[in-house]
Amino acid sequence: MDPLLTPDQIRSFQQERGLNVTGILDLATERALEDARWKLGDRSLYLQSNSLMHGDDVASLQSRLTDMGFDCGRVDGIYGPRTENAIKDFQKSVGAKVDGRCGPETIIGLIRLTKIVSGGAPAQLRESAAVRTRGPALANKVIVLDPGSNPGEAEIVYDIAVRIEGRLLALGASVFLTRGPHNSPSESERIAFTNANPTDLFISLHTDTHANPLAQGVATYFYGSQAHGVHSVVGERFASLLQREISARTSLLNCRSHPKTWDLLRLTQAPSIRVDCGYLSNSHDAKNLATPEFRDALAEAFIIAIQRLYLAAEDDAKTGTLRLSDLRSAGIRR
């Protein structure tokens, strides 16, 4: 960590890394700065039993392995069991010692093969294919809803989550909430809970606040890293669908979808998004969020966006046109 970084430099780094842009050297920024110190080849990489290795060198390794068709899962910059298995598979393929360690010999092999092997985006293709093979029906989907618990938002987003849950259950989906009305698990507990279930989709619900009372609107976020050139294809598509459905069905200002590297998006294995359903510091948004009718409109937007995510292109409909009553004919029970 460089103690001489100015707030402007910190903000620039946070922007580049998909972090909250505050100009403050918080824990997430300190960890990202530490990760940025490491380039592939600086150290040997291997699976540690206590604290997993992490850094930009791990992310570069995962990207190279993925480009060559080895399955590391998500490029998250963490040397876990799936990355170790991918290294072992690579070592087998090139006749190197199979030990799961990425040392000088393995790195040389990676560099040599990277020059001659090129592909599309295998991880993204696998993620998209998994959605297609699950089919259009919601009846066999597992959806995890994660109501935020920050001061001011807890009751609102929990109520919205319960409204979404009821509609999903009526359509045959399996739904889990990461918290109840009176508890507040940590972020790591929410991630662990989601990863412990065969989750198809993870949705974290929040509201926002700002010192400027004119700030308003809805924004969605998906996992994406400009620094590493990776993103969740399904997460991005769902974030875009939900963003458009909410904007079409409510009076919330469209603040667009954005890639972020927040742990909740990066470490959750299923396609994941976060949605900020308006600003409590804005009188217009706060007034709307206080009404049951508005919360119902939000819940319907969520359901329609979830269904559209799983519909084939030829069965999809224009934004804002589908209704819950249309979902049976759209393939909800097939």
The answer on pLDDT for 54 being more than 50 is yes
Cα gap 31→36, rounded to integer Å: 9
Mean pLDDT value across residues 310-324: 67
Sign of CA dihedral 275, 281, 285, 289: positive
pLDDT value of residue 331: 47
Encoded amino acid at 196, one letter: A
For the chain, what are the domain ranges?
1-37, 40-119, 129-332
The answer on pLDDT for 334 being more than 50 is no
Mean pLDDT value across residues 178-193: 95
Which neighbouring-strand residues pair with 222? 259, 273
Residue 23's pLDDT band (cuts 50, 70, 90): very high
Higher-confidence residue: 167 or 121?
A: 167
Mean pLDDT value across residues 15-25: 93
Cα gap 118→154, rounded to integer Å: 47
Residues 6+ apart with CB under 8 A from 161: 145, 146, 147, 177, 205
Residue 144's pLDDT band (cuts 50, 70, 90): very high
In terms of residues, how long is the chain? 334
Which neighbouring-strand residues pair with 231? 224
* Whether the Cβ atoms of residue 249 and residue 300 lie closer than 8 Å to each other: yes
In tens, the pLDDT along 151-175 reads 999 999 999 999 999 999 999 999 9
Cα gap 204→176, rounded to integer Å: 12
Residue 316's pLDDT band (cuts 50, 70, 90): low
Q: Exposed, middle or buried: residue 258 (CB in 10 Å: 0-12, 13-18, 19+)? A: middle
Both tokens assigned to 155:
């009751």
What rounded mean pLDDT belongs to the chain? 89
DSSP readout, 10-70? HHHHHHHHT----SS--HHHHHHHHHHT--TTSS-B---SSS--BSHHHHHHHHHHHHTT-
Residues 6+ apart with CB under 8 A from 7: 23, 24
Cα gap 252→317, rounded to integer Å: 21
**CATH 3.40.630.40: does it fit domain 129-332?**
yes
Cα gap 289→219, rounded to integer Å: 15
Query: What pTM did the predictor assign?
Result: 0.86
The answer on pLDDT for 333 being more than 50 is no
In tens, the pLDDT along 256-270 reads 999 999 999 999 999
CA-to-CA separations, 122 to 53, 59, 135, 151, 235, in angstroms, rounded:
24, 15, 20, 41, 16
pLDDT value of residue 290: 98
**In 10 A of CB 8, how many CB atoms?**
9
Displacement of CA 29 from its chain's centroid (Å):
18
* Whether the Cβ atoms of residue 76 and residue 126 lie closer than 8 Å to each other: no
* Whether the Cβ atoms of residue 168 and residue 327 lie closer than 8 Å to each other: no
Residue 135's pLDDT band (cuts 50, 70, 90): confident
Cα gap 225→231, rounded to integer Å: 6
CA-to-CA separations, 159 to 253, 272, 286, 291, 323, in angstroms, rounded:
21, 20, 15, 11, 21
Mean pLDDT value across residues 13-27: 93
The answer on pLDDT for 142 being more than 70 is yes
40-119 CATH fold: Muramoyl-pentapeptide Carboxypeptidase; domain 1 (1.10.101)
pLDDT value of residue 30: 95
Q: Give the helix/strand (H/E) hosting 238.
A: helix 233-249
Helix, strand and coil content of the chain, in percent to the nearest 5, comes to 45, 15, 40
| % of the chain at pLDDT higher than 70 | 86
Residues 6+ apart with CB under 8 A from 81: 47
The answer on pLDDT for 1 being more than 70 is no
